[in-house]
């Protein structure tokens, strides 16, 4: 379980808010169609509020967003201020790791509070799966409450003018391979969509298992901004930047992109960004 803020290293919450993917197309409808109650909502490891802001208006009771990262919550607090969200409309932000946060919630809202929907996106791999899922099932969800787990794994990019679909991945490898060992979680678990963890064992029903690989058009600026939010990249930079022979792996990838531009005579303004997405919806 992570108890320190690694998401503010080298990249602030604005980059997450601007460049990270939102709720995947179709996932909002899939999750809401499973709901049997619309009172209380909890978003764990909420980041800048991507899921929370999407789902909050469905609920009439307490709506809580939690995260460990000050930089992420700073972005969400700015939205709260702009949109006049707060205790007066039952919207709350709590800072803390997603295990001890359960005690904070009970201290603030009472021992009996339970939620119709609990979401976590792109974060379950940071926690002890067993302890976390048991906490959600036992301490947080109402009977027939919904736990929605989603995530994604970036698998590279393609140049628009490359029929071989190989040159982009070769460039991406120059960036990704050096940072792969600097993520503080097992990337294989995320890459597989947590399949080996058998999350369904902690809940009464598995309502949805959805997986897809999609290739979407992205501006080069957005693509580069997105990969710069990788925690492994920022920890790599932090660890190695003062070394005499340091080379930024992002610059290696950009150099390869510029080589492609020189060879084709065409400026690269957009790429096809390739992503594996998954969603699991469980019922208590």
Span 21-56, pLDDT tens digits: 888 889 999 999 999 999 999 999 999 999 999 999
Give me the pLDDT at residue 11, please. Answer: 52
Q: Note whether 29 and 9 are within 8 A (CB).
A: no
C-alpha distances (whole Å) from 207 to each of 14, 70, 141, 204 are 34, 34, 15, 10
Alpha helices, H only, 58-158: 70-82, 101-109, 129-135
| 89 three-state secondary structure | helix
| Residue 176: strand pairing partners | none
- Please name the residue that has the structure tokens 């929605």: 148
| Residue whose pair of structure tokens reads 């399949």 in the numeric block | 195
What is the dihedral sign for C-alpha 72, 75, 81, 84? negative
Percent of residues, the chain, with pLDDT higher than 90: 81
pLDDT of residue 66: 96
pTM of the model: 0.91
Low-confidence ranges of the chain (pLDDT < 50): 1-3
pLDDT value of position 6: 53
C-alpha triplet 125, 126, 129: angle, nearest 5°: 60
């Amino acid at each position: 379980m992570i108890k320190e803020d690694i998401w503010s290293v080298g990249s602030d919450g604005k980059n997450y808010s601007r460049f990270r993917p939102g709720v995947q197309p179709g996932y909002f409808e899939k999750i809401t169609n499973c709901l049997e109650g619309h009172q209380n909502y909890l978003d764990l490891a909420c980041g800048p509020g991507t899921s929370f802001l999407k789902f909050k208006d469905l609920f009439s009771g307490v709506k809580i967003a939690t995260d460990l990262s000050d930089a992420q919550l700073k972005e969400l607090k700015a939205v709260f201020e702009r949109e006049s969200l707060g205790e007066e409309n039952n919207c709350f932000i709590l800072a803390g790791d997603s295990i001890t946060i359960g005690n904070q919630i009970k201290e603030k809202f009472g021992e009996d509070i339970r939620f119709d929907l609990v979401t976590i996106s792109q974060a379950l791999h940071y926690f002890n799966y067993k302890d976390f899922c048991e906490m959600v099932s036992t301490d947080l969800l109402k009977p027939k409450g919904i736990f929605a787990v989603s995530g994604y794994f970036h698998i590279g990019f393609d140049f628009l003018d490359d029929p071989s679909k190989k040159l982009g991945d070769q460039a991406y490898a120059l960036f990704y391979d050096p940072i792969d060992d600097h993520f503080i979680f097992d990337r294989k678990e995320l890459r597989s969509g947590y399949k080996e963890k058998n999350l369904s064992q902690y809940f009464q029903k598995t309502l949805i298992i959805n997986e897809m690989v999609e290739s979407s058009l992205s501006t080069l600026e957005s693509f580069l901004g997105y990969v710069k939010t990788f925690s492994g990249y920022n920890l790599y930079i932090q660890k190695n930047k003062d070394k005499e022979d340091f080379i930024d792996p992002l610059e290696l990838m950009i150099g390869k992109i510029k080589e492609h531009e020189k060879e084709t005579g065409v400026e690269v303004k957009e790429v096809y960004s390739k992503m594996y997405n998954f969603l699991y919806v469980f019922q208590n």
